[in-house]
Chains A and B, each alone.
Chain A
Amino acid sequence: MTEPGSTSPLPAAPLLRVEGVRKRFGGVIALRGVDLSVLPGEVHALLGENGAGKSTLIKILSGVQGHDGGLIEIDGKPASFSSPAQSREAGVAVVYQDLSLVESLSVADNLLLGREPRNRFGFLRKRQLLAQAQAFLHAQNIALDARAMVGSLPFAYRQMTEICKALMGDVRLLILDEPTSALTDDEERILFDAIRKAAARGVGVIYVTHRLNEVFRISNRVTVFRDGQNAGTFVTADTNMRQLVGAIVGPDHAVLKAPVTEAGDVAPSHQPRETVLRLAGVSNDRLDRADLELRAGEIHGLAGLIGSGRTEILQTIFGLRPVVTGEASLDGKSLVGVDPATAIARGIALVPEDRQVQGLVLEHSIERNLTLPRLPHFSRMGWLERRPAAEQADKAMQRLRVRAPNAATAVKNLSGGNQQKVVFGKWNQPVPRVLLLDEPTVGVDVGAREEIYGVIRAAAAAGSGVLMVSSDLPELVQLCDRVSIVVDGHIVKTIARVEIGSAEDLHHLIQLSQSFEEHAA
């Protein structure tokens, strides 16, 4: 991989200059005067924990919110946007984490939404619309079918559509808010290619992420925010992981004392214990003779490409998909035909992929969310016993270190990491027999991520069998006792920790399994 900066020399005049920008919400100060400059053709990574002020700055740049003070210049001219339309007019395009696509329209319709080619009577020129979209996708070398319905696409492809949409207009400054959450390595590579191409055309890119290794792969410079202030700007080539983590969490954080996300330093492997969960030849519309054995106290990873059937394995165990043929059993008792309520009653817990859609009722309080799956534990004859429920919720909040004023806080007001802790908390007491995790740290910042790893290890130590899907291979290498590789709904290989080696090795293994299966088919 070439150094991104070496392909185009960086001119000196900044495209975007932000100086001393301040913003407060009521009594809370979100930005205490931050600086940021982005050069044309530069990919500038923006890092910081949730609450550091990254989102606030992005919302100001995109015209969603105003700022209270400070200077914003684009191409040397002062800019202040009172609406997203104005910001867009000035050439600022933002790709948000929450997608803003119309699911019932095709990729082409979405790409040209609001700019559809029309004939002189104002009617839509459908053929031209499709051709324009296809030409654009082709030029960007993006493998998307322009005719596909967005609603039918896997998450990763929707995200690519979103990014393409942002790149379509006359864009000077492209802002990406955690674009790679839930992308596989291959998809990430395509995305990075697209970003580099945009940068090579002179577009300035602000790249917000929680994944530090991406910073080294894509960015020219890095700016870190902490508590609404600048905590440093670095030239990527001259910095390292440790320095960035230090800037993100502050000088005295415990994370610094523990080694950061590298293979090798793992929890002691547990003694192999009895099998809790067994799948033998399980098939349904998405699974193809899946075999799996999960032991008590084990953290078992499921690796594979997006769409390989990893998530569907978890959903089938949890009773969200039927077992059509084959046998699934928990502690020797069949799981065929169970629904989620029964699965929960038998000690199976699921932390789903999309916490906002599947994991939480966002409008409701932490307490309501925490107690929902275990309501029978907090009731007598169908009547709720509020005090035990409230006490449990408070305890779970403390144990998981959920940062919120109290258990009555609505979940939608929490940061991503804290929301994810609440989803974990739903299943914390009593300890589940089987804990199913689907991308447990997507969109979670560095500090909270370590805490969530701690929760996962604690569950295994308490005897749960943990089955974990993740696209973050270093995470699998770091946490798992064994890893199974999934290709097309079939488990092709299960390997023990000692044989895995590095994340790189695991990546090659997945690729190899994938191509081998494709040849065999």
Chain B
Amino acid sequence: MSDIQTAAQPAPPSQGRSLLQHLIKGERPYMLYVAFLIMLVVFSLASPWFLSIDNFLNIGRQTALVSIIAVGMTFVIIARQIDLSVASTLALSGMAASLAMSFVFNNWAFGALAGLATGALIGLINGLLTTRLEIPSFLVTLGSLSAARGLALMVTNTKPVIITNEYYFKIFGEGSVLGVPAPILWTLTVTVGGILLLHYSVYGRRIYAAGGNPTAALYSGVHIRQVTTLAFVITGTLAGLASLILSARSHAARPDVVQGMELDVIASVILGGCSLFGGRGFVLGTLLGSLIIGTLNNGLVLLGVSSSLQLVIKGAIIVAAVAFTRR
């Protein structure tokens, strides 16, 4: 008896037909765009340095790590799961990449492969423990958050590992094409890949169904375990990619980097319109979410707000934004 709902809610706008519509669909995400624009205007008026190409490239570089991992997290959250281990995965993957180049074979591709494979492996373990042993992913990844960080600290007894491969620096950190720095190019590549996979592939449809209603998905022949595990593998691999970018920028891998970054990643995804209850969300929203958080960080620094107060403001704005954009 859903005649009320039929009457009460006008039919939603046509969903999922063109790229442009992905921008507009979701749970009132235009609120988010408006908020973003207001923020840009406020910062531009408040700081003379804010509105410049250099500063925007700067924001893009700073948010690259979060943006890239958040694309993977979008898949995980749409599948009604969560991955808390991404920052630790990043740290361990970075150690794997740098150690592989230092001690085995100083070739950028070899190092990259080691980093990506490490991230993928942690994702696979997260996914298998979640789907096969049916442990909630919150607990599984809370465990791997700790374990992966511990391993990263153990391998070198907490010491950083220096990287000397010039190609590696260029490809993942310092190179640029037409003035666009490598981290931003990687962000764009991952975003486009994520959009294709989520909105234009069979896998994308299945992950929406697996998260939207796992029982109905099972009854429709979706292999929920495989689909969900793959989401964790994608996220782990992207954490691996982020580790390459970070270590290439600092010419070294450190085991204690980006602690607590999972919060920014998850906040980006939720801010971007994903439902924590699964089944809803889109990649461009996530990118926008991470840009908002990045711009906020950047703008507050330019305005000279103390770093402690920055944390408070950021937290308040995230909760307020989610409260507004949520269904």
Contact = CB atoms under 8 A, between A and B. Distances in A.
Interface of A: 25-28, 30, 50-56, 59, 65, 97, 177-178, 208, 318, 320, 339-341, 343-345, 350, 352, 357-365, 367-368, 371-373, 375-376, 378-379, 382-384, 386, 390, 404-406, 408-410, 412-416, 419, 426, 443
B3 A340 contact: no
Nearest to A375: B202
B159 interface: no
Interface string B211-224: 01101111111110
A88 to B, nearest CB: 20
A409 B11 CA distance: 6
Given A55-B3, A364-B209, A383-B201, A357 B279 contact: no
Nearest to A30: B7
Nearest to A355: B216
B223 A50 contact: no
A27 B3 CA distance: 14
B53 interface: no
A47 to B, nearest CB: 12
Interface stretch (B12-20, B28-36, B170-178): B12-20
Contacts of B219: 318, 320, 340, 350, 352, 358-359
Contacts of B150: none
B206 interface: yes
B11 A405 contact: yes
Contacts of A386: 16-17, 200
13 contacts: A25-B4, A25-B7, A97-B1, A343-B221, A357-B213, A359-B216, A361-B209, A365-B16, A382-B203, A390-B17, A412-B5, A413-B6, A414-B6
A384 B201 contact: yes
B6 A415 contact: yes
Given A361-B209, A406-B14, 12 more contacts: A28-B8, A50-B1, A55-B3, A357-B216, A358-B215, A368-B209, A373-B221, A383-B200, A404-B11, A410-B12, A415-B1, A415-B2
A341 B215 contact: no
Contacts of B202: 375-376, 378-379, 382-384
B12 A408 contact: yes
B9 interface: yes
Nearest to A96: B1
Contact of A341 (B14, B15, B222): B222
A201 to B, nearest CB: 27
Nearest to A31: B7
Nearest to A412: B5
B2 A413 contact: yes
Contacts of B5: 412-413
B221 A340 contact: yes
A9 B110 CA distance: 90
Q: Which 5 pairs between the two chains have the least Cβ-Cβ distance?
A: A361-B212, A341-B221, A51-B3, A344-B221, A373-B220
A415 B3 contact: yes
A345 B221 CA distance: 9
Interface in B37-78: none
Interface string B239-273: 00000000000000000000000000000000000
A262 to B, nearest CB: 26
Contacts of A50: 1-3
Contact of B217 (A352, A365, A372, A413): A372
A27 B17 CA distance: 27
Nearest to A208: B1
Contacts of A339: 223
Contacts of B3: 30, 50-56, 415
B10 interface: yes
A410 B218 CA distance: 20
B226 to A, nearest CB: 10
The listed residue with most B CB atoms (<10 A of its CB), out of A408, A414, A415, is: A408
A99 to B, nearest CB: 14
Interface in B172-205: 196, 200-205
A25 B204 CA distance: 35
Contacts of A59: 4
Contacts of B212: 361-364
Contacts of A341: 221-223
A378 B213 CA distance: 21
B208 interface: yes
Interface string B72-100: 00000000000000000000000000000
A61 to B, nearest CB: 13
Contacts of B149: none
Given A56-B3, A404-B11, A412-B5, A357 B205 contact: no
B221 A177 contact: no
B57 to A, nearest CB: 33
B9 A413 contact: yes
Contacts of A30: 3-4, 7
A97 B284 CA distance: 39
Contacts of A65: 4
B281 to A, nearest CB: 11
A52 B222 CA distance: 37
Contacts of B17: 386, 390, 408
Given A357-B213, A413-B11, A364 B6 contact: no
A426 B1 CA distance: 21
Contacts of B208: 361, 364, 368
Given A372-B217, A405-B11, A408-B16, A363 B201 contact: no
B43 to A, nearest CB: 36
A274 to B, nearest CB: 25
B292 to A, nearest CB: 25
B279 A408 contact: no
A404 B11 CA distance: 8
The listed residue with most B CB atoms (<10 A of its CB), out of A30, A350, A359, A363, is: A363
Nearest to B210: A361
Nearest to A360: B216
A97 B1 CA distance: 8
A382 B201 contact: yes
B8 A25 contact: yes
A384 B203 CA distance: 9
A375 B201 CA distance: 10
A405 B203 CA distance: 27
Contacts of B203: 382
A413 B1 CA distance: 10
